[in-house]
A and B are shown apart, each in its own frame.
Chain A
Amino acid sequence: MSTISTHDTHHDDHGHHHETFLTKYVFSQDHKMIAKQFLITGIIMAVIAMILSILFRIQLAWPDQNFPLLEQLLGKWAEGGRIKPDFYLALVTIHGTIMVFFVLTAGLSGTFSNLLIPLQVGARDMASPFLNMLSYWFFFAACVIMMSSFFIQTGPASAGWTVYPPLSAVPKAIPGSGLGMTLWLISMILFVASSLMGGINYVSTILNMRTKGMDFWKMPLTIWAFFLTAVLGILSFPVLVAGVVLLIFDRSVGTSFYLSDMVFGTQIMPNEGGSPILWQHLFWFLGHPEVYIVIMPAMGLSSEIIAVNSRKPIFGYHAMVYSLIGITVLSLIVWGHHMFVTGMNPFLGGVFMITTLIIAVPSAVKTFNWLATLWKGNIRFTPGMLFAIGMVSFFISGGLTGIWLGNATLDINLHDTYFVVAHFHLVMGSAAIFGMLAGVYHWFPKMFGRLMDSKLAYLHFWVTFVCTYLVFFPLHFLGLDGVPRRYYAFTEFEFMHKWMTVNKLVTWSAIVAGLAQVAFLFNFFYSIFRGKRAPQNPWESNTLEWTTPVERIHGNWPGEIPTVHRWPYDYSKPGAESDFIPQTVPFSETMSSNLFHDFEGNAEAEQIQREWNAKNDPSKNNE
Chain B
Amino acid sequence: MVHTIQQNNAPLEFNAKPRKFAMWLFVVSSIIMFGGFTSYYLVFSAAKGKGHGLVLPDAFMYSTAVLVLSSVFLFLAARALRSKQLKQQQLFLWITVILGIAFAYLQFQAWTSLYMSGAVLINNNAAISMIYLLSGMHLLHIVAGLAFVVSALISSYRNVEHAKLVYRQDIASIFWHFIDILWIYLYVFLLLNS
Interface residues of A, Cβ cutoff 8 Å to B: 9, 11-17, 19, 24, 124-125, 127-129, 131, 196, 199-201, 203-205, 207-209, 234-239, 241-243, 245-246, 249, 253-257, 271-275, 278, 281-282, 285, 448-450, 528-529, 550-558
Does residue B160 face the partner (Cβ distance < 8 Å to A)? no
In the complex, which residue of chain B has the Cβ closest to the Cβ of A123?
Answer: B18
**Interface 0/1 of B165-183, CB less than 8 Å to A:** 0000000000000000000
Residues from 1 to 51 in B contacting A, C-beta threshold 8 Å: 1-12, 15, 17-19, 21-22, 25-26, 28-30, 32-37, 40, 43-44, 47-48
- Neighbour of A558 across the interface among B8, B34, B137, CB < 8 A: B8
B123 within 8 A of A: yes
> Are A17's CB and B7's CB within 8 A?
yes
Give, as a whole number of angstroms, the nearest-CB distance from B107 to chain A: 17
Binds A, one of B55-63, B64-72, B110-118, B125-133: B125-133
Q: Within 8 Å CB of B126, what residues of A?
A: 255-257, 273-274
- Contact between B29 and A200 (Cβ–Cβ < 8 Å)? yes
A554 touches B4 (CB 8 A): yes
B124 at the interface (CB under 8 A from A): yes
B3-A551 in contact (CB<8A):
yes
Asked if B101 CB lies within 8 Å of chain A CBs, one says no
- Whether A127 lies near B7 (C-beta < 8 A) is no
* B121 sits at the interface (CB 8 A): yes
Q: Distance (Å) between the CB of A504 and the closest chain B CB?
A: 43
* Cα distance A552–B125 in the bound complex, in angstroms: 58
Across the two chains, which residue of chain A brings its CB closest to B47? A275
Q: Which of B7, B44, B125 contacts A553 (CB 8 A)?
A: B7
CB of B21 within 8 A of CB of A204, answer yes
Cβ contacts under 8 Å, A253 to chain B: 121-122
Q: Which of B81-140 contact A (CB under 8 A)?
A: 121-126, 129-130, 133, 137
Beyond A234-B28, A245-B133, list 10 extra A-B contacts (CB 8 Å): A17-B7, A199-B25, A203-B21, A238-B29, A238-B30, A242-B36, A246-B40, A272-B124, A553-B5, A554-B8
Decide if the interface of chain B is mainly helix, strand, loop or mixed. helix
Q: Are B44 and A275 in contact (CB under 8 A)?
A: yes
Indicate if the CB atoms of B36 and A128 lie closer than 8 Å: no
Residues A238 and B36 in contact, CB atoms below 8 Å apart: yes
Among A128, A256, A555, which residue has its beta carbon within 8 angstroms of that of B19? Answer: A128
Q: Number of B residues contacting the other chain (C-beta, 8 Å)? A: 44
B2 surroundings in chain A (CB, below 8 A): 448-450, 550-552
B residues within 8 A CB of A273? 48, 124-126
Distance (whole angstroms) from the CB of B21 to the closest CB of chain A: 4
When the two chains form their complex, are residues A242 and B40 in contact, meaning their CB atoms are under 8 A apart? yes
Task: Report yes or no: B18 in contact with A200, Cβ–Cβ below 8 A.
Answer: no
Docked pose: A272 CA to B125 CA in angstroms: 8
Return chain A residues, CB-CB under 8 Å to B44. Answer: 274-275, 278
Which of A13, A14, A242, A557 has the most chain B CB atoms inside 10 A of its CB? A242
Inter-chain contacts of A271 with B (CB < 8 A): 124
Which of A205, A239, A275 contacts B36, CB < 8 Å? A239
**Pick from B3, B18, B40, B130: contact of A205, CB under 8 Å:** B18
Residue of B nearest to A557 (CB): B8
CA distance A128 to B22 in the complex (A): 8
Give the residue of B25, B125, B137 whose beta carbon is less than 8 angstroms from that of A245: B137
B28 pairs with A128, CB closer than 8 A: no
CB A596 to nearest CB in B, in angstroms, measures 36
User: Residues of A contacting B17 with CB < 8 Å?
Assistant: 208
Q: Cβ of A15 and Cβ of B7 under 8 Å apart?
A: yes
Nearest B residue (CB) for A240: B36
A126: min CB distance to chain B, Å: 8
Cβ-defined contact, A11 with B6, below 8 A: yes
Complex CA gap A424/B121 in Å reads: 40
Chain B residues with CB under 8 A of A551: 2-5
Q: Are A558 and B6 neighbours in the complex by a CB distance under 8 Å?
A: yes
> Given that A12-B9, A255-B129 are known contacts, is A131 also in contact with B4, CB under 8 Å in the complex?
no
B123 touches A13 (CB 8 A): no
In the complex with contacts A127-B18, A235-B32, A256-B124 CB distance below 8 A: yes
State whether B4 touches A256 (Cβ < 8 A). no
B40 touches which of A278, A450, A528 (Cβ 8 Å): A278
Structural contact, B29 and A234, CB atoms closer than 8 A: yes
With A234-B25, A255-B126, A257-B129 already in contact, the answer to whether A204 and B7 are too (CB < 8 A) is: no
Q: Measured between C-beta atoms, what is the minimum distance from A240 to chain B in Å?
A: 8
Residues A239 and B18 in contact in the complex (CB < 8 Å), given A16-B7, A282-B40, A553-B7? no
Q: A13-B6, A124-B8, A558-B8 are in contact. Are A254 and B122 (CB under 8 A)?
A: yes
